[in-house]
Amino acid sequence: MFAAALQKARAAFAPPLWRSQGGGWEGVRFARMRSTTAQNSRQKHPSPTLPCAARKGGGDISARQAARPLCLLMAVGAMMPARSCNPVVVAMSLFDSPLRFGAALVLGAALSACSSTPTHTSSTGKDTGTPVTGYLVGAAIPDSLALSPAPPAPDSVAAQLDEAVARQALSMRDSARFVQAHADADLSFPAGADQFSCALGVAVSAKTTPVLYRLLERSRIDASAATKAAKNHYQRPRPFMVNNAPTCTPDDEEGLRKSGSYPSGHTSIGWAWALILSEIDPDHATALIERGRNYGHSRLVCNVHWYSDVQQGQFMGAATVARLHDTPGFVADLAKARAELSHARTLNLPMPRDCAGETAALTSDIPEAR
């Protein structure tokens, strides 16, 4: 009875040409032929949106948005006739053979990562599904275009200093300082939370210091956002685009070419963290501020920023912290993080980094940049 009902439902919803071809492997073979033809056509006439998305009406939507509900549909397209975006047609045709149905289940599981919505991991290690946002919103974010002078003009004294510092930075390639610059480039979490752990004397993690971890993650977003207006406006070429020398992060170079050099976003974040952490722990303020400066200098050693980029990045980081202090949520988290850090010191947990090696590497600095 179920089989008969299923056959009737398939016949009612399936496209006429599919019914005329019959089911079984002959239908699969025909579907593969159609899929190959459609693929060749799309290669000759590429579209910025996914095929089914264009039929929904209401204007184009992004490929990422369309991919979430359609990932499975496109994945099994080579195994079934892809004439329709109707989910009923898709569902019914999956039952045509046990092999196709099983393959669809496997593909569905493999493609569960199609959705790329950023999520936050809680202190318990469970995915909360909540995107991390900054503390500052809209006009509260410092306007780097209004606060930043134009980058140094070619052949100006400031431009000559930029070039001199860049030459000194290039001499550190393949040194321990160059390796440290590579490590400093990682601002992703959880790695980013530990960038200042050695100077702080305490490991920062979502498990042992969840409030501080979250504070650093959210303020990172704010300090980065504070540099965007000037970056987008000036689109200053980065040093490696001018001197054609390698960087400490070759995998990032393609993206960096599309992002303006002035001011430095990494430096803005590092300087903001140095100021915030030194306020939370005044006893380590000198080490933390020194680490903040060296963190910005790592962008020079990496050959991805000019000296004036770093200087203005520090300015924007300071401007960000000033605005954060006018935000009740940040002020509350700052007080909680201070108490949390005091408790974390009593745990005497091992450091996740080679602090002795980091200190030794950071002793090599750029004379012109001090």
How do residues 282-292 score in pLDDT, each as one tens digit?
999 999 999 99
- Asked if 94 and 80 touch (Cβ cutoff 8 Å), the reply is yes
> pLDDT tens across 56-94, in order?
333 333 333 333 333 333 333 433 444 344 443 344 444
Alpha carbons within 13 angstroms on the beta-carbon side of residue 223 total 29
| C-alpha distances out from residue 5 to 11, 43, 92, 108, Å | 10, 40, 11, 25
**Secondary structure, 3-state, 39-69:** HHHHHHCCCCCCCHHHHCCCCCCCHHHHHHH
Q: Which residues pair with 121 in a beta bridge?
A: 127
Q: How far is Cα 31 from Cα 229, in angstroms, rounded to an integer?
A: 50
Could you give the CA distance from residue 138 to residue 352 in angstroms, rounded to a whole number?
A: 36
The most confident of 9-18, 27-36, 205-214, by mean pLDDT: 205-214
Residue 283 among the catalytic residues: no
3-state class percentages of the chain: helix first, strand second, coil last, to nearest 5: 65, 0, 35
Please state the length of the chain. Answer: 370
* Contacts for 137 with CB less than 8 Å, ≥ 6 apart: none
CB 145 within 8 A of CB 229: yes
Average pLDDT over residues 311-316: 98
Mean pLDDT across 16-30:
36
pLDDT tens-digit map of 170-215 = 999 999 999 999 999 999 999 999 999 999 999 999 999 999 999 9
Distance, CA of 1 to chain centre: 53
> How far apart (Å, rounded) are the C-alpha atoms in residues 105 and 113?
14
Nearest to 53 by CA among 70, 37, 39, 41: 70
User: Is 120 among the catalytic positions?
Assistant: no
Distance CA(132)–CA(303), nearest Å, equals 30
CA distances from 30 to 17, 20, 24 (A): 10, 11, 10
The set of long-range contacts for 8-16, using a CB threshold of 8 Å and a minimum separation of 24, is: 9/92, 10/92, 10/93, 10/95, 10/96, 13/86, 13/88, 13/89, 13/92, 14/89, 14/92, 14/93, 15/81, 15/83, 15/84, 15/89
Task: Tell whether the model's pLDDT for residue 42 goes beyond 50.
Answer: no
309 is catalytic: yes
Active-site annotation holds for 45:
no
Count of C-beta atoms within a 10 Å radius of residue 304: 26
Quick: pLDDT tens for 207-254.
999 999 999 999 999 999 999 999 999 999 999 999 999 999 999 999
Residue 199 near residue 288 (C-beta atoms within 8 A): yes
Percent pLDDT > 90 in the chain is 62
Q: Which of 53, 135, 101 is nearest to 329 (CA)?
A: 135
Q: What is the pLDDT of residue 30?
A: 33
In Å, how far are 148, 171, 291 from 174, measured between CA atoms? 33, 9, 21
* Cα(253)–Cα(66) distance, integer angstroms: 29
Catalytic residue among 266, 284, 291, 293: 266
Mean predicted lDDT score pLDDT of the chain: 76
